[in-house]
Amino acid sequence: MSIALMILAFLVAIGVLVTVHEYGHFWIARRSGVKVLRFSIGFGRPLWRWQGKDHTEYVLGSLPLGGYVKMLDEREGKVAEEDLPRAFNRQSLGVRSAVVVAGPMANILFAIVVYWLAFVLGIAGIKPLVGEVTANTPAEKAGFRAGEEIIAVGEQATPTWAAVRHALFVASQNGSRVSVTVSGPEGEEVLSLDLSQVGTDPEKIRDILQQLGVQPVRPLLAPVIGKVLPDEPAAQAGFQPGDRILSAAGQPIDSWDEWVEFVRDRPGESFNVEIERGKERLVLTLQPVAVEGEEGSVGRIGAAPQPPGELPEELQATLKYSPLAAISQAVEKTWEIGSLTVIMLGKMLSGEVSTKSISGPITIAQYAGYSVQIGFVPFLNFLAVVSISLAILNLLPVPVLDGGHLLYYFIEWIRGRPLSEEAQALGQQIGILALIGLMCLAFYNDLTRLFG
């Protein structure tokens, strides 16, 4: 993936989500009679500005990592006598609260619309057909068998493996067991799956099937080299992208899985490999480097397979709904992701989930680039998830965030009068320090993921 594509996808995503968020504040403020002085997307030197109705200035800043809506307020400058009724600080507690909460709510509504569009267009995936079931694992004990199709986890239909992974992870946060409906030659069967061994870390969602002992059915990859890492054994032996492995140490190699298993079983050993390169047949000498894994020492050569072609039709699946049915599904999906985000934040504060799962702009940019590469619908899903996260983050009761303002208003409602300006200023300073600390942690996690 090119860095340019990653940066462009990130800027588009942030630009869209910030615009939606700030427009929520702007829309409610205008309709509540508050005078809006400026609507800005981005900070810093203005690249473009325009004055619209009611003398509101619209600005596009040179630093596209946020935005703001500046409203008329006596605390920020002198206000003309005729404009006093339109000053933000003169509004009722209800109006001020509505203006503040409108930003996060706009992000939630945007996520619902985006999910609706994704469900109408259809989310492509791989049909959840069970391949191998590892012995003495939760899946084997529950009664999973190779060849069965997982059609539901709990009450959630699962037409794709992505849906299965997500449903299992959500279920693992809510209990230790879940019912899984499978379909096989003998019809449908409901199995009880033990989830107590599944890690609570969100990053574990990627290998949740492996934790449970299920291997998906997948098309066999041809034993063809797609990528060779520099300074690794494969490169040193002379392997090149496009080389097809024919045999190793005299043993025929018919699939990439066979090749991986052969290499992993021979750490530090030297053996001859017969390959086909174009119209030629060559013999190369290879010695895998020994790497310590969970099951002991394994061999590694630093090569990746050639990407497969189009997925066989029998493994293709699409999660799709009619425009009407997609409405309820989009609302349900938004609620599910939002609830899961809140649960994860709670577990993070209690120490049950590692803070390593916090992502910063680098990781977000990578995901933005990956989703764009895959297609329009995956990018829509990415936008929806980040939009929900942005809404929840802004609702945290931290001064300088929308949730911090709502906390001040709640205290004002209890006391019958607002906090002093000194107390609010102190809260703002604490909030800024907390956000700086959070951003430093996020950047550290990003760099750790990037450079190991």
Q: Which residue has the tokens 């550290």?
A: 444
Average pLDDT over residues 399-408: 92
Mapping DSSP to helix (H, G, I), strand (E, B) and coil, where does residue 249 land? coil
Helix axes 421-451, 361-374, angle to 10 degrees: 60
Phi, psi of 151 (to 5 degrees): -105, -15
Average pLDDT over residues 440-452: 79
Q: What's the CA dihedral at 115, 117, 122, 127 to 10 degrees?
A: 0
Q: Out of 22, 132, 149, 294, which one is annotated catalytic?
A: 22
**pLDDT at res. 364:** 86
Instruction: Name the average pLDDT for the chain.
Output: 89
**pLDDT at res. 171:** 86
How confident is the model over 50-63, as pLDDT tens digits? Answer: 998 888 999 999 88
How confident is the model over 28-37, as pLDDT tens digits? Answer: 999 999 999 9
**pLDDT at res. 93:** 94
pLDDT at 205 over 80: no
How confident is the model over 90-145, as pLDDT tens digits? Answer: 999 999 999 999 999 999 999 999 999 999 999 888 899 998 899 999 999 999 99
225-305 in CATH: which number? Answer: 2.30.42.10
How does residue 402 score in pLDDT terms, banded at 50, 70 and 90? very high
Bridge partners for 273 per DSSP? 248, 284
**pLDDT at res. 373:** 85
Query: Degrees (nearest 5) of the Cα angle 286, 210, 163?
Result: 125
pLDDT at 358 over 90: no
Query: Which residue has better confidence, 358 or 369?
Result: 369
Q: Has 274 been annotated as catalytic?
A: no
Judge whether 125-219+313-319 and 225-305 match in fold: yes
Superfamily of domain 125-219+313-319: PDZ domain (2.30.42.10)
pLDDT at 204 over 70: no
Q: Residue 358 carries which side chain, given as an amino acid letter?
A: I
Q: Which pTM value belongs to this model?
A: 0.78
Q: Which residue has the tokens 């997982």?
A: 150
How confident is the model over 315-352, as pLDDT tens digits? Answer: 888 888 999 999 999 999 999 899 888 888 888 887 77
pLDDT at 72 over 90: yes
Which among 378, 355, 374, 375 is positioned nearest to 448, based on CA atoms?
A: 355
Q: What's the CA dihedral at 330, 334, 339, 345 to 10 degrees?
A: 150
d(CA 236, CA 160): 40
**pLDDT at res. 1:** 55
Phi, psi of 79 (to 5 degrees): -120, 130
Among 143-152, 204-213, 390-399, the range scoring the smallest mean pLDDT is 204-213
How many residues belong to the chain?
452
Q: Give domain limits for the chain.
A: 125-219+313-319, 225-305
